[in-house]
Amino acid sequence: MAFDLTPLFGIEALCSFSLLLVSGTMKHLPVLLVLGFALSLCNLTNKLKPSSNSGGSGKADSDIQAEQATPTAAQTAALAGGQTVKWDRQGMSWTVPPKWTETENESKMLTWRSPGGSEAANLIVSISPMDESFPADISIKAYYDGAKTRAKNGEVDEVKWLEIDGLKGVEFREINPEKADDFRRLQWLAYRKYNGQLQFVNVMLSSNGTGFTQHQDEMYGVLYSTKLVH
């Protein structure tokens, strides 16, 4: 049985939501970063349209062999003396370095960042409610396949199934940009059930090319510290 995902997940569920993030966050974050965040979702969404011979089959979550999110000693040290960030409305929390500050806290979006300009590190988390009948297993596999394709095209240098706090998702990291002031992103995508609702969870850590190297350990540490109800 094939699924027509367009009305469930296409423009309304992710692309339009992502573009709304631009207007909602551009006063706090660099415009190019937010646009890149929106376009990365819309680009991957195209992978969710199965071919006519796909049969709508996807790998079940129980069949996925995911790496456990285990920080290295350097990543743990980067968060020493840090603070706990709680997003109570979504039942999520993180540990971030002591000097990071909150820049946005809405019902479906949370952002924090380190001190600095374009080289600062950013934590951007978004939640997208999905229809109860939405085929999450097919969707997350499509995100994984899309990231693998980007890796083959030289756009991504790390792709893996990653389990964080008991929830399996897709983690990928973009390559170092050619220009040092262009942005580079580390993202983790997953689906969860929260308060009886199916949700798409997108956790992104980012900085520009110069800042990413500088903040890499703390960004991985923040990602791996994610706690969420599911």
- Nearest-CA neighbor of 162 among 33, 65, 91? 65
How much is the pLDDT for 64? 84
pTM score, whole prediction? 0.78
Backbone angles phi, psi at 42, to 5 degrees: -65, -40
What pLDDT score does 176 carry?
96
Strand 156-164 to strand 67-68: parallel, antiparallel, or no bridges (unpaired)? parallel
If we measure between CA atoms, which residue out of 92, 58, 98 comes closest to residue 79? Answer: 98
**CA atoms in the 13 A half-sphere facing the CB of 2:** 10
**Strands, DSSP E only, in 55-155?**
67-68, 83-87, 92-96, 101-105, 109-113, 122-130
Per cent of the chain over pLDDT 70 is: 73
Low-confidence spans in the chain with pLDDT less than 70: 1-62
pLDDT tens digit sequence for 45-76: 444 444 333 333 345 566 889 999 999 999 99
CA-CA distance, 221 to 12, in Å (whole number)?
Answer: 33
What percent of the chain lies above the pLDDT cut of 90? 72
